[in-house]
Amino acid sequence: MSGRPEPERSDWTDLDLLTREEAYGRLREEIAATEAHLAELGDLGSDSGFDADSGSDAHPDPGQAERELIETRLSALREAADALTDNTRN
């Protein structure tokens, strides 16, 4: 078989493409799962162990870094979902 594409074959034939609605639905599912995971870890503001008077961590919270990463991911997921809905309105 040659490396040249077949002229009658579409470029999209082998791709599994999502519609914007399908992508938005999947993003909403992932957002809900991420929010639930974040809720399991607790709020960032709850007794992080940071002593404001001394400016040091008296009892560092090992889960704080994970929560911050998850919050960043959640923000990115929400932005992507918003971008999909904004593009469908234009």
How would DSSP label each residue in 4-26? SPPTTS-TTTT--PPPHHHHHHH
Please report, in tens digits, the pLDDT of each residue of the chain (90 residues total).
456 666 666 666 667 788 999 999 999 999 999 999 999 988 544 554 445 555 555 566 768 889 999 999 999 999 999 999 886 555
Residues 6+ apart with CB under 8 A from 81: 24, 27, 28, 31
Q: Nearest 5 degrees, angle CA 61-CA 76-CA 28?
A: 105
pLDDT value of position 63 = 83
Q: How far apart are CA 9 and CA 15, in angstroms?
A: 12
Segments making up each domain of the chain, as ranges: 20-43+62-89
Q: Can you give the length of the chain in residues?
A: 90
CA distances (Å), origin 69, targets 1, 28, 31: 47, 18, 14
